[in-house]
């Protein structure tokens, strides 16, 4: 049994907490939370012990007459692995985790250098074995690595170019914009996503551009990749079809935009309408010479959930990538070919 603590209970922490509770080989010892809000109340209703990361948070919980289970040190004393899901405070917390001798999983908002290993399950699971700390990369990087890792495995990739249209805000973020503009994000090129993919796949020639658009339902990537040789469109589709954590959808089945993908997730009963898969529009997959074009949707809130679960297993050792991914995917309801 791997005893897991989660530091931070926001967009990622909440999801990883639920996913950890679904694993037969893990136990969720508790989470930390700064504010005694409705999310803390729901965690308590689920039976999740809620710890407070500092005295200020403890005072807030006490003032709100909401129970808390103790401080971060107490949580750390009871776990094997901690998942840091704070808003980019990993560098601050890393020495605290180390002082307690705990292995740690950080998120993509941190620098690659914080752990020296940027993690995507199907690309470099084995490299994480036995390490004290790894960084699960961000949503966009995770999706690009899944896709480009698969294309590289199937055909070789000599060059990748992608334009990322990013959702302006998550559905619960009411202070972010824009509401009527396309924001250059940033206006200088390339965006950080290309180099971030290279933190996982160092020898890949990739350049990315990013814009921010007024919607909350997923990022959308326009991908152009130059392949080794000239596979047929059907061969590319077959390769994607047999890649874990990829989902192929079609406009003629009703998927006209990112919003229908989220609606699909609501309809099939995914918790929080989470889409863990990188979503490829089948009819967008097009070969022009040796270039493949496609559209890929990325559910920013959800896609790294399975990677975090795998990363916990990877740093503990004793699992193969395939075994961990199959287990994670079975518990989360993700189609897992082969």
Angle, CA of 155, 158 and 160, to the nearest 5°: 100
Smallest gap from residue 212 Cβ to a copy of itself (A): 8
Cβ-Cβ contacts under 8 Å for 97 (sequence gap 6 or more): 76, 82, 84, 103, 104, 133
Query: Which window, 158-166, 269-277, 303-311, 313-321, contacts a copy of itself (CB under 8 A)?
Result: 158-166
Site for a copy of itself in 184-203 (CB under 8 A): 184, 186-190
Smallest gap from residue 137 Cβ to a copy of itself (A): 22
Query: What distances in angstroms separate CA 306 from CA 107, 205, 230, 254, 265, one per listed residue?
Result: 13, 27, 32, 26, 16
Of 105 and 247, CB closest to a copy of itself: 247
- H or E stretch including 109? none
Are 228 and 155 in contact by the 8 Å Cβ rule? The answer is yes
Smallest gap from residue 268 Cβ to a copy of itself (A): 19
Site for a copy of itself in 122-151 (CB under 8 A): none
Site for a copy of itself in 4-43 (CB under 8 A): none
Are 250 and 281 in contact by the 8 Å Cβ rule? The answer is yes
Q: Please state, in angstroms and rounded to a whole number, the distance separating the CA atoms of residues 61 and 76.
A: 19
Q: Please state, in angstroms and rounded to a whole number, the distance separating the CA atoms of residues 276 and 283.
A: 21
φ, ψ for residue 274 (rounded to 5)? -80, 135
Site for a copy of itself in 233-262 (CB under 8 A): 250-251, 255-260
Binding mask 258-297 for a copy of itself (x = CB under 8 A): xxx--------------------x-xx-x-x--x-xxx-x
Of 44 and 213, CB closest to a copy of itself: 213
The set of catalytic residues is 139
Question: Interface with a copy of itself includes 180 (CB under 8 A)?
Answer: yes
Q: Is 195 exposed, middle or buried (0-12, 13-18, 19+ CB in 10 A)?
A: middle
User: From edge to edge, which strands make up the β-sheet containing 118-119?
Assistant: 50-51, 26-32, 2-7, 81-84, 103-106, 133-136, 118-119
Please give the size of the binding site for a copy of itself, defined by CB under 8 A. Answer: 46
Of 260 and 331, CB closest to a copy of itself: 260
Of 124 and 258, CB closest to a copy of itself: 258
Site for a copy of itself in 33-92 (CB under 8 A): none
Positions that interact with a copy of itself (CB under 8 A): 161, 163, 165, 167, 178-184, 186-190, 207, 209, 211, 213-218, 220, 222, 224, 250-251, 255-260, 281, 283-284, 286, 288, 291, 293-295, 297
């Amino acid at each position: 049994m791997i005893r897991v603590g989660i530091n931070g209970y926001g967009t990622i922490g909440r999801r990883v907490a639920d996913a950890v509770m679904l694993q037969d080989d893990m136990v969720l010892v508790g989470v930390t939370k700064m504010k005694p809000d409705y999310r803390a109340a729901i965690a308590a209703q689920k039976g999740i012990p809620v710890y407070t990361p500092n005295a200020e948070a403890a005072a807030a919980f006490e003032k709100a007459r909401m129970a808390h289970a103790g401080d971060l040190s107490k949580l750390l004393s009871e776990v094997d692995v901690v998942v840091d899901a704070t808003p980019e405070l990993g560098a601050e917390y890393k020495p605290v985790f180390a002082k307690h001798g705990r292995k740690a999983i950080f998120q993509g908002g941190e620098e690659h250098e914080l752990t020296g290993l940027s993690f995507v399950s199907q690309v470099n699971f084995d490299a994480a074995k036995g390490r004290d700390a790894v960084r699960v990369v961000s949503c966009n990087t995770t999706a690009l690595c899944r896709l480009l890792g698969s294309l590289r495995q199937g055909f070789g990739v000599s060059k990748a170019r992608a334009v990322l249209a990013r959702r302006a805000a998550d559905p619960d973020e009411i202070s972010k914009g824009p509401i009527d503009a396309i924001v250059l994000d940033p206006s200088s090129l390339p965006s950080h996503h290309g180099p971030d993919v290279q933190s996982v796949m160092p020898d890949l020639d990739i350049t990315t551009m990013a814009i921010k658009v007024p919607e909350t339902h997923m990022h959308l990537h326009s991908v152009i990749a130059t392949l080794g040789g000239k596979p047929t469109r059907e061969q590319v589709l077959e390769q994607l079809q047999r890649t874990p954590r990829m989902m192929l959808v079609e406009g003629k089945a009703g998927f006209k935009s990112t919003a229908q993908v989220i609606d699909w997730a609501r309809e099939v009963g995914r918790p929080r309408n989470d889409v863990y898969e990188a979503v490829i529009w089948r009819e967008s997959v097009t070969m022009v010479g040796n270039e493949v074009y496609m559209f890929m949707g990325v559910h920013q809130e959800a896609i790294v959930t399975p990677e975090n679960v795998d990363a916990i297993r990877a740093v503990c050792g004793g699992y193969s990538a395939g075994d961990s991914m199959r287990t994670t995917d079975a518990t989360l309801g993700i189609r897992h070919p082969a």
